[in-house]
Amino acid sequence: MREIIIEVTKSESLKINKDNMPTNLPPEYFGADKKFREAESTSAKITALEELIATVPKHKGTDKLRAELRRKLSKLRVDKQKKKSTGKHESEYHIEKEGAGRVSIIGSPNVGKSSLLKALTHAAPKISESPFTTWLPIPGMMMIKDIQVQLIDTPPLNNEHIEPEYFDIIKSSDLLLLVVDLQATPFKQLEEALAILEEHKIAPVKMKNKFTKEENFNFIPFIVVVNKDDDDKIDEDFEVFDELLESDLPLVPISAANKRNLDELSELIFEKMEVMRIYSKRPGHEADMSSPFVLKIGSTLDDFAQKVHKDFYQNLKTARVWGHDVYDAQLVGRD
The per-residue pLDDT for 9 is 46
**Residues 97 and 113: beta-carbon distance below 8 Å:** no
Count of C-beta atoms within a 10 Å radius of residue 226: 26
Per-residue pLDDT of the chain (335 residues; tens, 9 = 90+): 466 565 554 333 333 333 333 356 777 787 778 778 767 677 778 888 888 888 888 877 788 888 888 888 888 888 877 766 665 556 677 888 888 899 999 999 999 999 999 999 988 877 666 555 667 899 999 999 888 899 999 999 887 778 888 888 999 999 999 999 999 999 999 999 999 999 999 999 988 888 887 788 999 999 999 999 998 888 999 999 999 998 889 999 999 999 999 999 999 999 999 888 887 777 777 777 777 888 888 777 777 777 666 665 566 665 656 666 655 555 555 55
CA dihedral 226, 228, 229, 230 (to 10 degrees): 160
Task: Provide DSSP, 216-252.
Answer: --EEE-EEEEEE---SHHHHHHHHHHHHHH---S-EE
For the chain, helix (H) and strand (E) counts, in that order, are 10, 13
* Gap between the Cα atoms of 250 and 222, Å rounded: 7
The per-residue pLDDT for 179 is 98
Count of C-beta atoms within a 10 Å radius of residue 49: 21
What three-state secondary structure class fits 139? strand
**Residues 253 and 237: beta-carbon distance below 8 Å:** no
The per-residue pLDDT for 267 is 95
Show the domains of the chain with their CATH numbers.
3-39+41-87+275-333 (no CATH), 102-260 (3.40.50.300)
The per-residue pLDDT for 19 is 38
Count of C-beta atoms within a 10 Å radius of residue 301: 20
